[in-house]
Amino acid sequence: MKIIEGGVCAAKGFTAGGVHCGIRKNREKRDLALIYSEVKATAAAVYTTNLVKGAPLTVTKKHLSDGFAQAVICNSGNANTCNANGIEIAEKMSGLLADALAIDENDVVVASTGVIGEPLDIEPIRLGIPALINSLNENGSAEAAEGIMTTDTVKKEVAVEFEIGSKVCKIGGIAKGSGMIHPNMATMLVFITTDAAISPEMLRKALSGDIGNTFNMVSVDGDTSTNDMVTVLANGMAGNEIIDYEGEAFCAFMKALNTVTVNLCRMIAGDGEGATKLLECKVTGAKDEPTAKTVAKSVICSSLLKAAMFGADANWGRVLCAIGYSGADVDVNKIDVSFKSAKGEIPVCVDGAGIEFSEEFAKEILLEKEIEILIELKSGDKSATAWGCDLTYDYVKINGDYRT
């Protein structure tokens, strides 16, 4: 398996594009994106756990009830959430696209991201769909990735090539996510495409099995969004024997899917609103996986720790504090903590107590763009990883006037 170029267009039979249709005031920013498969694809999705859900999620869930889809349309700049006519607008979006592409409207995934509680006018979308379809091309992943961005500062796309049997398959994805990011899905939209042949049942199993260790382990600010969705389309054009049971082929598919999702997780966490650093918390030696996950999530969500990482302050006590209130059943007298980056690694806590270390070297380590927080619980052999970012002055600036 290897990383390749192409994003959502890497897989055979997929094209993508993006345009500015007028939802966003800035004409230089695309605000409407499209992903299209030459043939109908099996499809699966997971959605936010927030009780307040964007109208597009309700419509998409209904459309994917049969396990198939052929196109994804997504607008940015307006979440189409908490609107009296939200369902109607989402249905019109999918209907207009379906008519223009000559496909069944039930085969359209519809998504929106942006400000909550503001009416979404269908006219810019209706007028923009012809140009959107004309923008479709085999190198359009970056344009689609730009079209779904809100406060993101960088486009997020990745793809990998792998083999199932004698067939070369590809899987790629794009994502958006910068703020309102928290475990159990976040303000993130992720669209993944693959040319592997896999049944709807096994695709759902693969996605649900992956989410718990990837996107649900990402946190930027502790807020769980209303519009999160991760969708996978598999059109089977690679020609492999269909994956319809848990065997070697399914394992190969899961590994490729996980490679894509982990890369996107790191991109989302590293591009947190106002962030300057990617934080990766690795917990080892846990008695079971739930304990490892609970500890990793608690540490990565700690505002005090995130602020310390922004200041390159090796305040390891905040790691122990976050573990202590996490609710995880751990022996605090066995915990080791280290900080690691490209500059090296420095132990700061052994058996739950501080040790002497060089503050100067620790600062060098923590001034890097990617920081690992390593926690050893010494109580078992289970592990977990969570991703987040530092907490900076700019986070408050961005969210202080996000709507206005």
pLDDT of 83 reads: 87
- Give dist(CA 113, CA 358) in Å, integer: 45
* Phi/psi at 230 (5° precision): -120, 125
Length of the chain: 404
Average pLDDT for residues 64-75, to the nearest whole number? 97
| CATH of span 278-400 | 3.10.20.340
Give tens-digit pLDDT for 96-124. 999 999 999 999 999 998 888 889 999 99
In tens, the pLDDT along 174-233 reads 999 765 555 544 457 999 999 999 999 999 999 999 998 998 888 765 555 556 789 999
pLDDT of residue 401: 72
As a whole number, the mean pLDDT across the chain is: 92
Region 386-404: mean pLDDT is 80
Counting Cα atoms < 13 Å in the Cβ hemisphere of 278 gives 19
Name the nearest CA neighbour of 8 among 274, 189, 185, 182.
189
Count Cβ atoms within 10 A of the Cβ of residue 325 and give its class: 0-12 exposed, 13-18 middle, 19 or more buried.
Answer: exposed
Choice among 81, 150, 187, 226 that is catalytic: 187
CA distance 17 to 27: 16
The architecture that CATH gives domain 2-270 is: 4-Layer Sandwich (3.60)
Quick one: tokens of 286? 């846990």
Residue 360 pLDDT exceeds 80: yes
187 classed as catalytic: yes
State how far the alpha carbon of 176 is from the alpha carbons of 59, 78, 118, 152, in Å.
20, 14, 20, 7
CA-CA-CA-CA torsion for 72, 77, 80, 82, nearest 10 degrees? 150
Per-domain boundaries in the chain? 2-270, 278-400
CB within 8 Å of 332: residues ≥ 6 apart: 320, 323, 324, 352
Burial class from Cβ neighbours inside 10 Å (0-12, 13-18, 19+) for residue 2 reads exposed
